[in-house]
C-alpha cells in the first residue's frame, strides 16, 4: 500500500504548482471581479499540453493516468476554480470521443482538441433535466443521411468555444427505458439552427462561460453520431462522467487547499490583544480541523482516481465527489471565520473560494443523488467499505 505520488507525478505536480503560482494566482481575483476572460491563462495551458490530458498519445495527447488527471484539477482550482472548468468540460468531451468515437471521428477532432486549436464541452443539461438525464427532451429525427435536431441545452461550459460540441439527444423518444433511445451527436459550431443564446449569470464559477443553447432544425450528418450506432448515448456519457466526478473531487481539494493556506497565513499575520491570532486555541482548533479535512479529502480523491484506473468505479468516484465537495465548502467557511470581517471582503481570496465551493456539491450530479448511486453500488457489491 503506497500513499505517495510516484516521481513523475511529483514532478508534474510541481510543474503545475509553478504555473498556477506565476500565471493564475496573481490575477485571479482581479480578473474574476472584472468578468475578464482568462485568455492568457488558456494560452499557457495550451502550451503545457493540458488540453490533451485525456487524448491518447497517438492523436497527440498526454493520455494522463487518472491520478495525474486529478492533479491537474487540484492545482488549477487552487488558483482559480473557474479556469479549471475550462479544462474540465473539454477533457470530458475528449475522453468521450477517444473512448467511443469512430476512427474517422477520432482522426477528425482529437489532434486539434489535444492542442487546444479546437475546444469542446459537453451538452447534457436542459432547462427541465439536470441530474435526471433520461428526462431530456432534445430530439434527433433521422432524415436521409442527416439528423434533424430540436431542443435546448443549459449550463453548458465552453459553449462559445466548443467545436464540436457532443450533444446528448433522443434518437428514439419512444424507447423504454428511455436510455435505450439516447445517442450523442458531435455538432459543429456554425451549423445553421445551432445558436448560443446567452451567458447565464452566476454566483461563482466565473472565468468561463455557462450558456444556454438553442437547437432549431439543426441538420447533423449521420457520420457525426458518436460510435456510429444509435442508443448508446447514456452509456457513453456515464463513462465520461466517471472521470468528471474525479475532476470535481480534485477541484474541491484545490479549493480546500487554498482555503487552508489563506487561513494559516492570515492567522500568523493578524494580531489581536498583542499577539498573532494563531496563538489562540480557538483559532488553532479551526486550523487543525481544516488541515486534517483537506488531507483526508486529498487521499479520498486520489483513491477514487486510482479506482478509475483499475476499472468501473461509480461508487468510489461518488464517495469522493460527495466528501471532497463538502470539505471544500466547510474549508471555505472556516477560512472566512478565521479572517473575521475581512473574510467577507472581496479584497481577500476566501470570499471567492466560498462562492466557488458551493457549486462543487451540485455539479456532476447533486450530492444527494450521488448518495443513492453509492448506496446502490454497495448493495450490488460493486463497491466495498473496509
Say what the pLDDT of residue 3 is.
Answer: 77
- Which of 89, 110, 108 lies closest to 99, judged by CA? 110
Q: What is the CATH number of the domain that holds 102?
A: 1.10.540.10
**Number of domains the chain is built from:** 3
Supply 140's cell numbers: 434527433
> Within this chain, do residues 218 and 241 fall inside the same structural domain, yes or no?
no
Is residue 335 within 8 A of residue 350, CB to CB? The reply is: yes
Q: How far apart are CA 116 and CA 144, in angstroms?
A: 33
Domain C-terminal end among 231, 264, 288: 231
Does residue 218 fall inside a structural domain?
yes
> Within this chain, do residues 207 and 324 fall inside the same structural domain, yes or no?
no
Is residue 213 within 8 A of residue 195, CB to CB? The reply is: yes
Say what the pLDDT of residue 283 is.
Answer: 97
Does residue 291 fall inside a structural domain?
yes
Q: How far apart are CA 122 and CA 107, in angstroms?
A: 19
- Which of 147, 162, 152, 136 lies closest to 197, judged by CA? 152
> Within this chain, do residues 369 and 244 fall inside the same structural domain, yes or no?
yes
> Within this chain, do residues 330 and 239 fall inside the same structural domain, yes or no?
yes
Does residue 306 fall inside a structural domain?
yes
Domain C-terminal end among 231, 253, 271: 231
> Within this chain, do residues 173 and 262 fall inside the same structural domain, yes or no?
no
- Which of 268, 258, 238, 290 lies closest to 133, judged by CA? 238
Say what the pLDDT of residue 351 is.
Answer: 96
> Within this chain, do residues 354 and 250 fall inside the same structural domain, yes or no?
yes
Helix axes 81-100, 349-360, angle to 10 degrees: 30
Which helix (H) or strand (E) element contains residue 214? strand 210-221
> Within this chain, do residues 91 and 48 fall inside the same structural domain, yes or no?
yes
Report cis status (omega within 30 of 0) of the bond before 352: no
Q: Is 155 left (phi over 0), alpha (psi -120 to 50) or beta?
A: left
Supply 212's cell numbers: 444556454
> Within this chain, do residues 166 and 36 fall inside the same structural domain, yes or no?
no
- List 80's β-bridge partners, or say none: none
Domain that holds residue 355: 235-379
Does residue 120 fall inside a structural domain?
no
> What is the DSSP-derived secondary structure letter of residue 343?
G
Is residue 120 within 8 A of residue 89, CB to CB? The reply is: yes
Residue-by-residue pLDDT tens, the chain, 386 positions: 677 899 999 999 999 999 999 999 999 999 999 999 999 999 999 999 999 999 999 999 999 999 999 999 999 999 999 999 999 999 999 999 999 999 999 999 999 999 999 999 999 999 998 888 999 999 999 999 999 999 999 999 999 999 999 999 999 999 999 999 999 999 999 999 999 999 999 999 999 999 999 999 999 999 999 999 999 999 999 999 999 999 999 999 999 999 999 999 999 999 999 999 999 999 999 999 999 999 999 999 999 999 999 887 889 999 999 999 999 999 999 999 999 999 999 999 999 999 999 999 998 889 999 999 999 999 999 888 98
Helix axes 314-339, 367-379, angle to 10 degrees: 140
Does residue 304 fall inside a structural domain?
yes
Q: How far apart are CA 109 and CA 147, in angstroms?
A: 20
Residue 23 catalytic? no
Q: Could you tell me the CA-to-CA distances from 9 to 6, 66, 111, 375, 381 in Å, in that order?
A: 5, 11, 24, 32, 31
Q: What is the CATH number of the domain that holds 182?
A: 2.40.110.10
> Within this chain, do residues 152 and 205 fall inside the same structural domain, yes or no?
yes
Does residue 264 fall inside a structural domain?
yes
Q: What is the CATH number of the domain that holds 276?
A: 1.20.140.10
Annotated catalytic residue within 23, 326, 349, 364: 364
Does residue 384 fall inside a structural domain?
no
> Within this chain, do residues 18 and 97 fall inside the same structural domain, yes or no?
yes
Q: How far apart are CA 69 and CA 236, in angstroms?
A: 19
The CA-CA-CA angle for residues 363, 241, 191, to 5°, reads: 90
> Within this chain, do residues 225 and 256 fall inside the same structural domain, yes or no?
no
Domain C-terminal end among 231, 264, 299: 231
> Within this chain, do residues 160 and 280 fall inside the same structural domain, yes or no?
no
Does residue 122 fall inside a structural domain?
no
Amino acid at each position: 500500500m503506497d500513499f505517495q505520488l510516484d516521481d513523475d507525478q511529483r514532478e508534474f505536480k510541481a510543474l503545475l504548482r509553478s504555473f498556477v503560482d506565476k500565471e493564475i494566482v496573481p490575477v485571479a481575483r482581479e480578473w474574476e471581479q472584472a468578468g475578464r476572460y482568462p485568455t492568457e491563462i488558456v494560452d499557457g495551458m495550451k502550451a503545457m499540453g493540458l488540453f490533451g490530458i485525456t487524448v491518447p498519445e497517438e492523436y497527440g495527447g498526454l493520455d494522463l493516468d487518472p491520478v495525474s488527471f486529478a492533479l491537474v484539477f487540484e492545482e488549477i482550482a487552487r488558483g482559480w476554480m473557474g479556469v479549471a472548468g475550462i479544462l474540465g468540460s473539454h477533457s470530458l468531451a475528449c475522453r468521450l470521443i477517444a473512448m467511443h468515437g469512430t476512427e474517422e471521428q477520432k482522426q477528425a477532432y482529437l489532434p486539434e482538441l489535444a492542442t487546444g486549436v479546437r475546444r469542446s464541452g459537453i451538452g447534457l443539461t436542459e432547462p427541465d433535466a439536470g441530474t435526471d438525464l433520461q428526462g431530456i427532451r432534445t430530439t434527433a429525427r433521422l432524415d436521409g443521411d442527416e439528423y434533424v435536431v430540436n431542443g435546448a441545452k443549459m449550463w453548458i461550459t465552453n459553449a462559445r468555444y466548443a467545436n464540436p460540441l457532443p450533444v446528448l439527444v433522443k434518437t428514439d423518444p419512444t424507447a423504454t427505458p428511455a436510455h435505450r433511445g439516447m445517442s450523442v451527436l458531435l455538432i459543429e459550431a456554425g451549423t445553421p439552427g445551432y445558436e448560443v443564446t446567452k451567458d447565464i449569470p452566476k454566483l461563482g464559477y466565473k472565468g468561463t462561460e455557462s450558456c444556454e443553447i438553442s437547437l432549431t432544425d439543426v441538420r447533423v450528418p449521420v457520420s457525426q453520431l458518436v460510435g456510429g450506432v444509435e442508443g448508446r448515448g447514456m452509456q457513453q456519457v456515464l463513462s465520461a462522467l466517471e472521470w468528471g466526478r474525479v475532476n470535481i473531487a480534485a477541484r474541491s481539494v484545490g479549493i480546500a487547499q487554498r482555503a487552508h493556506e489563506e487561513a494559516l497565513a492570515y492567522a500568523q499575520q493578524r494580531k489581536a490583544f498583542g499577539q498573532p491570532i494563531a496563538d489562540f486555541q480557538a483559532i488553532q482548533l479551526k486550523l487543525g480541523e481544516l488541515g486534517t479535512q483537506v488531507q483526508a479529502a486529498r487521499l479520498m480523491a486520489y483513491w477514487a482516481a486510482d479506482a478509475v484506473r483499475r476499472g468501473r468505479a461509480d461508487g468510489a468516484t461518488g464517495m469522493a465527489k460527495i466528501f471532497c465537495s463538502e470539505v471544500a465548502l466547510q474549508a471555505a467557511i472556516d477560512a472566512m471565520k478565521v479572517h473575521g470581517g475581512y473574510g467577507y471582503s472581496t479584497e481577500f481570496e476566501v470570499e471567492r473560494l466560498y462562492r466557488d465551493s458551493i457549486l462543487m456539491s451540485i455539479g456532476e450530479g447533486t450530492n444527494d443523488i450521488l448518495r443513492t448511486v453509492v448506496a446502490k453500488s454497495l448493495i450490488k457489491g460493486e463497491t466495498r467499505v473496509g
